[in-house]
Structure 1
Amino acid sequence: MPCTALRPAARRRPSLITLAMLLATTAAPVLADTSGTATMAIDTEVKLLSDLRNRGISDSGRKPSAQLNLQLAHESGLIALAQLSTVSDKAFTGSDGYNLLLGTGYRWGDPDGWHFGVGLAKEFFPGARFDAPHAIDLEVGEPVDFRRTRYDTAYAVLELGWGKLEGRILNVISRTYRGADTGGVCGQILAAAVDPTPAIECYLRGDKNSRGSMLYDIGYKLDLTPTTTLNLHAGTQRIRHFKEADFSDYSLGVTHQRWGMSFTAEWVTTRTHRPELFLIPDGNGWKRQDDDRLVVSVGYKF
């Protein structure tokens, strides 16, 4: 959740290119057993996007983003992934400009029938943090108890699917979901809303975090031609203790394979309860991050 009350400290920012190269060097050759049969596969993909959307919300400030994906899959069902993306330092206050997602888990079942997966994942936002009020003094009408919150988030993941219909449930096991605590939610409403009443009502519920939030996704892929796929997605988020932050997202897209690359055009729409929670500073005003948008991307696997 964006928050404008940050007091960031000066620091040296590591190079995103250096980090990308470091991740890329982890991609070892495909391993094989003594019979010559591959037992492990590693996929590496570089992607450029017109806007980086996570659950329908822009992580890149509605600006272009670059992404590096690495995925390892063992024949036993064990998987691991790493994803490095550029993000906005306004959407994630004080950020060094990138997000790192790491995950591991286990998948089993029939890819053409019922299949399942379980895992753990954590996303890191180096440098991103904000100081915000976690209470309000009603006698004087002033926010108090400024404390620091970070955006780093950990998840427990359950996947289940049938054929090309895929479902996923994520449970937030870290203290907050992307900074959603009393300071991040109530403080953002207080900073961005014209009427302070919703913020006061939020503060009156006491000091809360969002551990235990539930995130749901369902997606379906339909092959239109051997090289073209229709992508359908719907998701909903239930942020614990903060019903103001609940939202749903939907997308409809087409992916086409050509010249060894994947070209995708996707229409993304989001339904939020309090849009001011999804605003970031823009000059002397605010810019929405939950607007409807056509997102295009191109990816190359090697």
Structure 2
Amino acid sequence: MTRTTFAPTTRLALAACAALAALGTSGARADDAGVATMAIDTEVKLLSDLRNRGVSDSGRKPALQVGVQLAHESGFIGLAQLSTVSKKAFTDGDGVNLLLGTGYRFGDPDAWHFGVGLAKEFFPGARFDAPHGIDLEAGVPVDFRRTRYDTAYAVLEIGWGRLEGRVLHVLSRTYRGADTGGVCGQILAAAVDPTPALECYARGDQNSRGSMLYDLTYRHPLTPTTTLNLHAGTQKIRHFKEADFSDYSIGITHQRWGINWTAEWVATRTHRPELFMIPDGDGWKRQDNNTLVLSVSRKF
């Protein structure tokens, strides 16, 4: 029998989520007068495929997600979410993603409402080595450097009733490893024609800090227990137009026996499919395919 071990960052992530989940078992906190001042929600979700902006984070395989959200009556919120991800998509990692966020929301939930915040996602142990240049005379990749996938964001939310808009601005050096090595190097490795990769390298050594991500979501109640979910999103990756893409989804969530049952059709439009592939045997497997995602979740 073998024993599974985790890197220190992953152990810390698991401990943080476990501590927050323990807080969430009571569901709320009250002041001395017995009036609730903070709501604590814990959600456990099982998905047939974990999609981030329409692209699979789980290698087109099932994933587990545990999240805890704290909302204070003043408007301040906190979030911790732990998800299983593909070790092929996030190279050499522990197979988990930890998202931590905090912010402030205000306004009328039935009319105009707003939110501002900061968030960071961690991929413990995940990193890759890739060439950041090409020796044109020798025709070989050079300047191999290590890049991590960890990403920090500034977040702005604007909503009107059930219509929610969100803008994310990338504060970290890269957006999920998108730099010259991560983008140009991936095209060079996965594309049949090396020309797009050479054009990418010709722009010089760049990172993706300052990238912008946009989301628009609308939820419409069909019945007291059934909701229609509509979503559209796009991302503009700074210095790397090859990585720009859009995603769309339409789904239904039905609540039964205290469980949310969701079926969602997810579609993407990408410019360079090579950027959304992971190794699969002797070839490559696309992670940006259109697909039906099924999930079940429960809140505590």
| TM-score normalized by the length of structure 1 | 0.94
Instruction: Kindly indicate whether the alpha-carbon contact (under 8 Å) linking 2:48 and 2:61 is maintained by their aligned counterparts in 1.
Output: yes
**1:114 aligned to 2:104?**
no
Say if 1:224 and 1:230, in contact at 8 Å, map to a contact too: yes
Aligned match of 2:17: 23
| Conserved? CA contact 2:65–2:83, under 8 Å | yes
1: CA distance, partners of 2:12 / 2:144: 35
Give, in angstroms, the shift of residue 204 of structure 1. 0.5
Letter in 1 for 2:292: L
SS at match of 2:30: coil
Match of 2:128 among 122, 130, 135: 130
Match status 1:299 vs 2:294: no
Specify whether residues 22 and 108 from structure 1 end up closer, same or farther in structure 2 by C-alpha distance, changes over 3 A only: closer
Q: Call closer, same or farther: CA 1:17–1:122 in 2, change over 3 Å.
A: closer
Given that residues 254 and 265 in structure 1 are in contact (C-alpha distance below 8 angstroms), is that contact kept between their aligned partners in structure 2? yes
Q: CA separation of 1:125/1:17 partners in 2, compared to 1, >3 Å: closer, same or farther?
A: closer
SS in 1 for 2:20: coil
Q: What is the distance in 2 between the residues matched to 1:127 and 1:72? A: 28
TM-score, with normalisation over the residues of structure 2? 0.95
Question: CA offset at residue 14 of structure 1?
Answer: 4.6
Distance 1:20 1:136 in 2: 41
Residue 23 of structure 1 and its aligned partner are, at CA, apart by 1.3
Distance, in Å, in 1 between the alignment partners of 2:181 and 2:268 is 24
Query: For residue 7 of structure 1, what is the aligned residue in structure 2?
Result: none
Instruction: State whether residues 20 and 68 of structure 1, in contact with CA within 8 Å, keep that contact through their aligned partners in structure 2.
Output: no
Counterpart check, 1:13 vs 2:11: no
Pairwise CA distance, 1:104:
0.1
Contact conserved, 2:105 with 2:113, CA < 8 A, in 1?
yes
Q: What is the one-letter code of the residue matched to 2:35?
A: T
Give the aligned CA root-mean-square deviation in angstroms: 1.5
Question: Superposition pairs for residues 177-196 of structure 1, below 5 Å?
Answer: 177-196=175-194
What is the CA-CA distance between 1:125 and the residue it aligns to? 0.1
Aligned to 1:80: 78
* Partner residue of 1:173 out of 146, 171, 176: 171
Aligned residues between the structures: 292
| Aligned residue among 40, 43, 54 for 1:42 | 40
Q: Residue by residue, what CA displacement relative to the aligned partner does 1:117-164 show, whole Å, maximum 9, x if unpaired?
A: 000000000010000000000011100000000000000000000000
TM alignment of 1:187-206, pairs within 5 A: 187-206=185-204
CA 1:22–1:169 in 2, change beyond 3 Å: closer, same or farther? closer
SS in 2 for 1:31: strand
Distance 2:184 2:84 in 1: 27
Measured after TM superposition, the shift of residue 290 of structure 1 is 0.1
Q: Which has the higher contact order (CA 8 A, sep 6+)?
A: 1
Q: What is the CA deviation profile of residues 183-231 of structure 1, one whole-angstrom value per residue up to 9, with x for unaligned ones? A: 0000000000000000000000000000000000000000000000000
- The DSSP-based 3-state class of the residue aligned with 1:105 is strand
Residue 208 (structure 2) pairs with residue 207 (structure 1)? no
Deviation at 1:274, TM superposition (A): 0.3
1:217 lines up with 2:215 in the alignment: yes
Alpha-carbon displacement from aligned partner over 1:162-197 (angstroms, at most 9, x marks no partner): 000000000000000000000000000000000000
Q: How does 1:148-159 map to 2 (within 5 A)?
A: 148-159=146-157
The CA distance in 2 between the partners of 1:47 and 1:20, in whole Å, is 16
Q: How does 1:267-282 map to 2 (within 5 A)?
A: 267-282=265-280
DSSP-derived class of the 2:184 partner: helix
Q: Counterpart of 2:143?
A: 145
Partner of 1:60: 58
CA contact (8 A) 1:40 1:72 kept: yes
Identity %: 77
* Map of 2:249 onto structure 1: 251
Give the Å deviation of 1:12.
Answer: 5.0
Cα offsets for 1:88-114 (capped at 9, x unmatched):
000011110100000000000000000
Quick one: distance in 2 between partners of 1:67 and 1:215?
22
What CA deviation, in whole Å up to 9, does each residue of 1:37-85 have, x standing for no partner? 1000000010000000000000000000000010000000000000000
Distance 1:14 1:254 in 2: 38
2:286 pairs with one of 277, 285, 288: 288
Give the C-alpha shift of residue 17 in structure 1.
Answer: 9.2
- Of 252, 258, 261 in structure 1, the residue corresponding to residue 259 of structure 2 is 261
**8 Å Cα contact 1:166/1:219 also seen in 2:** yes
**By how many angstroms is 1:13 displaced?**
2.6
Gaps of 5+ in 1: 1-10
